[in-house]
């Protein structure tokens, strides 16, 4: 862990704050997918409506990312981080109070706003505090905390859902709000942001990311991220239900508890995919690592679609999660190294969250395809999205090792 000791104490605290914020974000957001089978039964949702609710959350998260990217550039990374954590925590708990689909939709919108804001603030905070030679590793460690949060959500669901029902599962989601007190006391703004804040005339906005020479890069990076997020949400929002639902309903028939363990095992692969990506991309470059992961994700998704044998799915799951998620570790580094400090969080919020706007189609598209043609057909659509994302790297340059401007 020499690379960890080479960073300042401020950088290490920033990484811990961003990582815990992202972990708790995953914990809150993925509770919906994990209780979806029970929620569908209780509220009388069909697959299309359940997918629509997932899409609505992603649209809200896109709006949150755009807003909080600007907030983080203007008022500070830590302020934006704290606000986003409070918002997604409160609205997660509110989901447990929903009595109708309309109420649940409104609460999912609020949760999405906070969810989108956390990544934009956290990625900028880590990017600006860590040295260039270790930036990929630090952002990979931050991103890997998503897998931990998802795994914790699966464990909480296994413990709480059978005893107390899906509403109690959502109530647990308010706990991350307590984390804000630690951020307020221990995490400082990056020095590079503080210098920019003292020169208000140099501060940027949305317009700059659409002007040359950044326009082409902004479009390519956004399109690439949209494809990867379409694939990720299309797969991950529906995989718990697919594993848990009975065979007669188009599922594998594992039940809630066994499904939960399958998801936990997948998160192990996801965690190592995140972490490994950071070390590999710091060594051989962002582009080659990204393309390699995306191609493998497409091939493994096709393999996952070709079987419904539980033991085979159990073995394939960690590898699908490793390659089908690990590439997200590189997105924060690539965008940080393309855009300068005055527009960094704004640009990261835009490229990441406009990708979410497009990916918001995924839960509905996959849910509809699942209902009409079965889950294997839906997974082939996911594999195609991974393949298109890999091709888009033709227009994205190598950025490894760039010092932040």
What's the pLDDT score for residue 290?
95
- Name the stretches of the chain with pLDDT < 50: none
What's the pLDDT score for residue 231?
92
**Fold adopted by 2-188+207-395:** Growth Hormone; Chain: A; (1.20.1250)
Three-class secondary structure of residue 278 per DSSP: helix
Rounded CA gap, 166 and 148, in Å? 21
What's the pLDDT score for residue 205?
62
What's the pLDDT score for residue 91?
92
Would you state the structure tokens that stand for residue 370, as one six-digit string?
Answer: 């699942």
Check: CB of residue 33 under 8 Å from CB of residue 237.
yes
Check: CB of residue 398 under 8 Å from CB of residue 285.
yes
> Residue 169: which of 20, 19, 27 has the closest Cα?
27
Would you state the structure tokens that stand for residue 104, as one six-digit string?
Answer: 């649940």
Would you state the structure tokens that stand for residue 278, as one six-digit string?
Answer: 């950071």
- 57-72 burial code (b ≥16 CB/10 A, e <16): bbbbbbbbbbbbbbbb
Kindly list the domain boundaries of the chain, sorted by start residue: 2-188+207-395
What's the pLDDT score for residue 198?
67
φ/ψ of residue 374, rounded to 5: 95, 160
Rounded CA gap, 400 and 389, in Å? 19
pTM given for the model: 0.75
Mean pLDDT of the chain: 85
What's the pLDDT score for residue 284?
92
């Amino acid at each position: 862990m020499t690379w960890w000791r080479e960073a300042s104490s401020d950088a290490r605290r920033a990484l811990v704050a961003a990582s815990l914020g992202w972990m708790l974000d995953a914990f809150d957001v993925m509770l919906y997918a994990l209780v979806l089978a029970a929620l569908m039964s209780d509220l009388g949702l069909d697959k299309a409506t359940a997918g629509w609710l997932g899409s609505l959350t992603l649209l809200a998260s896109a709006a949150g990312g755009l807003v909080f990217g600007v907030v983080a550039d203007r008022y500070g990374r830590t302020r934006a981080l704290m606000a986003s954590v409070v918002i997604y925590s409160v609205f997660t708990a509110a989901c447990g109070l929903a009595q109708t689909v309309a109420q649940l939709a409104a609460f999912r919108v609020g949760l999405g706003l906070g969810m989108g804001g956390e990544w934009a603030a956290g990625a900028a905070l880590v990017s600006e505090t860590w040295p260039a030679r270790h930036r990929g590793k630090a952002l990979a460690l931050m991103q890997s905390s998503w897998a931990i949060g998802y795994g914790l959500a699966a464990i909480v669901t296994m413990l709480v859902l059978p005893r107390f029902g899906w509403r109690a599962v959502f109530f647990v989601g308010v706990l991350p709000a307590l984390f804000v007190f630690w951020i307020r006391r221990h995490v400082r703004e990056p020095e590079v942001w503080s210098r920019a804040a003292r020169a208000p005339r140099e501060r940027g906005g949305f317009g700059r990311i659409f002007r040359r020479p950044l326009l082409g890069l902004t479009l390519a990076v956004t399109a690439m991220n949209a494809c990867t997020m379409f694939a990720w949400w299309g797969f991950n929002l529906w995989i718990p239900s697919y594993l848990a639902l009975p065979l007669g309903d188009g599922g594998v028939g594992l039940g809630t508890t066994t499904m939960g363990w399958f998801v936990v095992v997948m998160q192990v692969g996801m965690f190592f995919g995140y972490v490994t990506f950071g070390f590999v991309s710091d060594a051989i470059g962002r582009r080659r690592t990204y393309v390699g992961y995306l191609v493998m994700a497409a091939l493994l998704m096709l393999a996952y679609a070709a079987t419904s044998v539980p033991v085979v799915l159990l073995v394939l799951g960690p590898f699908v999660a490793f390659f089908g998620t690990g590439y997200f570790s590189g997105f924060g580094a690539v965008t940080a190294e393309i855009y300068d400090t005055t527009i960094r969080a704004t640009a990261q919020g835009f490229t990441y969250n406009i990708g979410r706007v497009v990916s918001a189609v995924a839960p509905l598209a996959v849910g509809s395809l699942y209902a009409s043609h079965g889950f294997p057909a839906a997974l082939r659509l996911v594999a195609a999205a991974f393949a298109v994302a890999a091709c888009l790297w033709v227009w994205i340059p190598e950025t490894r090792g760039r010092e932040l401007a």
